A = this chain, B = another copy of it.
Amino acid sequence: MEMNDLPAYCLATAQAAREASYQLATIDTEIKNRWLSESAIALKAAAAEIVEANQLDLAAAPGYGLTDAAIDRLRLDSSRIDAIAGALLEIAALPDPIGEVLDGFTRPGGLQIVKKRVPLGVVFFIYESRPNVTADAAAICVKSGNAVILRGGKEAIHSSRAIVNVLSRCAEQVGIPAAAVQLVQTTDRAAVGEFLGMSNLIDVTIPRGGEGLIRRVAAEATMPVIKHYDGNCHVYVDKDADISMAATIIENAKCQRMGVCNACESLLVHRDIAAKALPVIAETLSRHGIEIVADAESLSHLPGASLATEDDWSAEYLGPKISVAIVSDVMEAVKHINRYGSHHTDAIVTNQIRTAEIFTSAVDSSAVMVNASTRFNDGGVFGLGAEIGISTDKFHARGPCGMRELTTYKYIVKGDGHIRT
């Protein structure tokens, strides 16, 4: 779509979202769930037109330089549309966070105070090309009472538009404002900058994508951002660890899926157990073809490894490589993790309760694992329900972010002519 006046278009979009958000704040759970179930039906009914739109994206994909794997993720067929519809029904089945009473008290004099969970308002969601994310994000935002402005990747623009048309039409049918779900109708990058300046109309921005995009968004945004840059996750093998458990956990954390943010990138080993543990761990990793870079002291126990550089301690390899260092105790491990890590997910392997306690208290990360793989840090695995992102910040939300993390609260105070004296 050509935009003659991009700033005016973006402003109108955000204002419509803000207006819709005020209506959404008062809409009943039943209506929101009806929207989700009607949308699930309507998406399946519109499968032919969605697939047709998807063909346009697939045709353009080679021109965008997409890999075969990326093209496959972009492709929609009726079974994938069924899956998208199924995800909407799963979100319908989750409890509505809105209206939850978080606290309440009657004050001397009879003033009644209730602290109630309410929507954040307007969410600006920036994401990559997978079209299923369009439906998921819309569902999570609207079910939690928020209007959403979706900025999808240009690679999926036709597919996303077809999906949003259905969601928006169903919204109107059940009595939710159509502007509760809006897709940015231009792929012009300047539109992102426009929205990021609107702190009065947008309550939170959630960027998902490469680190470069996320850093740009965090730097430009005038409103809060829910984000994580990377996942440099550690496993620390304590002197009191079970070595075979340690090897199994490291194997899983490093090798089960390498390209994800909760995969292990760095291994720390207590000096007293290094000579015994490192050969066992190295042997396990070598079966997966993992390259090891290590500090000078570890190298003597790791014949195939090469010397790590300072940059390795901060690196997120997202592939078959791991860094290894020896530490003298749990606090040295903690300091290393807090200094070089991403505050994402870090694990200890130990049989000592006190050591585990020190580690879990002092490691400054969204999730800290004891005798478990870093790979478990995931909203679905935790049982938190649908997830819109993950936060390595400490403000507002930390770790997996679902519907509850898209809410705030307000105090509602009821009197009977009460005045302050």
Residues of A at the B interface (CB closer than 8 Å) are 22, 25-26, 105, 107, 111, 113, 120-121, 203-204, 223-224, 242, 245, 248-249, 251-253, 256, 334-335, 338, 356, 358, 360-362, 364-373, 375-377, 381-383, 393-396, 398-399, 408-421
Contact B415 A369 (CB under 8 A): yes
Contact B362 A420 (CB under 8 A): no
Residues of B within 8 A of A251 (CB): 419
Residues of B within 8 A of A256 (CB): 419-421
The docked-state distance in angstroms from the alpha carbon of A252 to that of B415 is 14
16 contacts between A and B (CB under 8 A): A22-B362, A26-B358, A120-B394, A203-B395, A251-B419, A256-B421, A367-B410, A367-B413, A368-B410, A368-B411, A369-B415, A371-B414, A372-B415, A394-B408, A395-B395, A399-B410
Contact A420 B25 (CB under 8 A): no
Contact B25 A413 (CB under 8 A): no
Contact B252 A338 (CB under 8 A): no
Least CB distance from A175 to B in Å reads: 15
Residues of B within 8 A of A383 (CB): 105, 107, 113
As for how many copies of this chain the complex holds, the number is 2
Contact B26 A371 (CB under 8 A): no
A335, A394, A398, A415 — which one has the most chain B CB atoms within 10 A of its CB? Answer: A394
Contact A419 B375 (CB under 8 A): yes
The docked-state distance in angstroms from the alpha carbon of A414 to that of B256 is 19
Contact A417 B245 (CB under 8 A): yes
Contact B420 A368 (CB under 8 A): no
Least CB distance from A259 to B in Å reads: 15
The residue on B at minimum CB distance from A22 is B362
Residues of B within 8 A of A421 (CB): 256
Contact A382 B113 (CB under 8 A): yes
Residues of B within 8 A of A413 (CB): 367-370, 372, 376-377
A25 contact from B245, B362, B373, B396, Cβ within 8 A: B362
Contact B107 A373 (CB under 8 A): no
A408 contact from B121, B369, B398, B411, Cβ within 8 A: B398
The residue on B at minimum CB distance from A398 is B408
A203 contact from B362, B394, B417, Cβ within 8 A: B394
The residue on B at minimum CB distance from A245 is B417
Q: With contacts A22-B334, A376-B420 known, is A411 near B382, CB below 8 A?
A: yes
A371 contact from B120, B399, B409, B415, Cβ within 8 A: B415
The residue on B at minimum CB distance from A420 is B375
Contact B26 A372 (CB under 8 A): no
Contact A412 B360 (CB under 8 A): yes
Contact A361 B26 (CB under 8 A): yes
Residues of B within 8 A of A372 (CB): 111, 413-415, 417-419
Q: With contacts A22-B362, A411-B377 known, is A419 near B252, CB below 8 A?
A: yes
Contact A224 B395 (CB under 8 A): yes
The residue on B at minimum CB distance from A382 is B113
Least CB distance from A163 to B in Å reads: 28
The residue on B at minimum CB distance from A21 is B364
A420 contact from B204, B381, B396, Cβ within 8 A: B381
Residues of B within 8 A of A362 (CB): 22, 25-26
The docked-state distance in angstroms from the alpha carbon of A242 to that of B416 is 10
Residues of B within 8 A of A365 (CB): 410
Contact A396 B396 (CB under 8 A): yes
Least CB distance from A218 to B in Å reads: 9
